[in-house]
Amino acid sequence: MRIALAGAGAFGEKHLDGLKLIDGVEITSIISRTADQAAAVAEKYGAKHHSTELADALARDDVDAVILCTPTQMHAQQAIACMNAGKHVQVEIPLADSWADSQAVLAKQQETGLVCMVGHTRRFNPSHQWVHNRVTAGELAVQQMDVQTYFFRRKNINAKGQPRSWTDHLLWHHAAHTVDLFAYQAGKIVQAHAVQGPIHPELGIAMDMSIQLKSESGAICTLSLSFNNDGPLGTFFRYICDNGTYIARYDDLVDGKEAPIDVSKVDVSMNGIELQDREFVAAIREGREPNSSVAKVFDCYRVLGELEAQLAG
């Protein structure tokens, strides 16, 4: 499996680290915004090709699939370009930053039949897999999810604290994780409401947001998001269930009293990004639809589109 990666920043390197652990995978091309970064990352990970243009990778015969870790605003257009070139594609979350673009990507996937997977990592974190396995086995039912997504990001910086060329978004990026996960654990979302705080004068986005969701099962979700939080960074999930309370912090899980739960045997790795990439590669090899295919996460973007319309109104 010969893979090109576009967007060799902080998150791109997480994928490259995961891909190194998968048998039979070769990283053949690195695409980055600057030639120097593309060359440096290609050398670090042994890629034979590097460029600043995605089209250069798409034209290569030694590229079977592409992972897109590029700015959100480019995701839909680039995913469609990959499929037009006959390449399977995994596009990092979010699929798009509009409902119309999300629909266009799904239409292209259905037209080509290629694997198009979206990086909804929460489906793959061992902590959330542990909960999901018990939900599907009938051992748990989610009553409420309480989620905090907190960063301190008043400038355009990435996960390494380095300057970035684009502006992140609480709704289309960070809320997408929780909106999809809530539906994955509790059923289709039938009610959604959102309010947001003031728009940042330079970044042009809301820095604080609150979202309420209800699923067809009757479960509810309260999601608080902020780029103003001067404290621990990240997303923390509290599952309040009919049979216990559980708190997920990325790949780790504790119960409601902070007692650790061993999730080391849930999957072949404790790294959600690696597991996500393993699913992408396996789906291509096996000719099947992956978990977090564009079709399976599609309803998340319907909900985000509805929330955006509410906020605009």
Interval 170-206: pLDDT, tens: 999 999 999 999 999 999 999 999 999 999 988 889 9
* Angle of CA points 94, 95, 98, to nearest 5°: 90
Domain 2-121+273-293 part of CATH 3.40.50.720? yes
- CA dist 163 and 166 (Å) reads 9
Continuous H helices in the chain: 10-19, 35-45, 54-58, 75-84, 99-112, 126-136, 176-186, 272-286, 294-312
pLDDT of residue 159: 60
Q: What is the tens place of the pLDDT at every residue in 154-174?
A: 877 666 666 666 667 899 999
274: its two tokens: 């690696």
For helices 99-112 and 75-84, give the axis angle rounded to 10 degrees: 10
Residue 51 main-chain phi, psi, to 5 deg: -165, 170
CB of 163 within 8 A of CB of 156? yes
Domains of the chain, residue spans = 2-121+273-293, 125-266
Q: Alpha carbon 218 to chain centroid distance?
A: 25
CATH 3.20.20.70 fits 125-266, yes or no: no
Per-residue pLDDT of the chain (313 residues; tens, 9 = 90+): 999 999 998 899 999 999 999 999 999 999 999 999 999 999 999 999 999 999 999 999 999 999 999 999 999 999 999 999 999 999 999 999 999 999 999 999 999 999 999 999 999 999 999 999 999 999 999 999 999 999 998 877 666 666 666 667 899 999 999 999 999 999 999 999 999 999 998 888 999 999 999 999 999 999 999 999 999 899 999 999 999 999 999 999 999 999 999 999 999 999 999 999 999 999 999 999 999 999 999 999 999 999 999 999 8
Residue 221's identity, in one-letter code, is C
**Predicted pLDDT of residue 238:** 98
Which DSSP letter does residue 243 get?
A: T
Q: pLDDT value at position 81?
A: 98
* DSSP output for 192-221: EEEEE-PBPTTT-SBSEEEEEEEETTS-EE
